[in-house]
Amino acid sequence: MLMAGPIGLFRQRYPGVELKISEFGGLTVQQAVMNGELDLAMTALPVEEESALTTLPLFSHPLCVLVPRSGEWLEQTSVSPTQLAAHPLLIYNEDFALSRQLMQLFARHDVKPRIAVRSGQWTFWRRWCRRASAWRFYRSPFAAS
């Protein structure tokens, strides 16, 4: 969704260039670029400074938590890692950079999260969160769908 416009513009400017688009987690695409399997990749940062990769910021969005639209959550404007640990969490698969960032956040606060399900599929997340009253994480532009 976010990349449809730029990809369309690229295709107009360079009609003879074939684009091969793959969707994988951030850690997987970072490794694929380092292995020469991909020319470039988009990922949630940070990328390890020791890696052989150069990063260029494309856009930035806050990390948000999706919760059921009911009860105490209607009044809540932020949440701490300790509060998160009290609820079942739907979290990205291990090969997503955001998953690693979240696990580091919990470790820094000495919190053990209650991970109920891991997935990389947005539509599954939305349905599961509604039914199971679980929390999940996303970068803000993806909440609009």
If pLDDT is split at 50, 70 and 90, which confidence band does 128 have?
low
- Residue 33 · residue 53 · CB < 8 Å: yes
**Residue 112 scores a pLDDT above 90:** yes
DSSP annotation of 45: S
- 10 Å CB burial of residue 96 (0-12, 13-18, 19+) is buried
**DSSP secondary structure letters along 102-130:** HHHHHHHTT---EEEEE---HHHHHHHHH
Question: How many Cβ atoms sit within 10 Å of the Cβ of residue 82?
Answer: 11
pTM comes to 0.58
Mean pLDDT computed over 12-29: 84
**106 versus 46: which is more confidently predicted?**
106
pLDDT higher than 70, residue 71 = yes
pLDDT of residue 13: 93
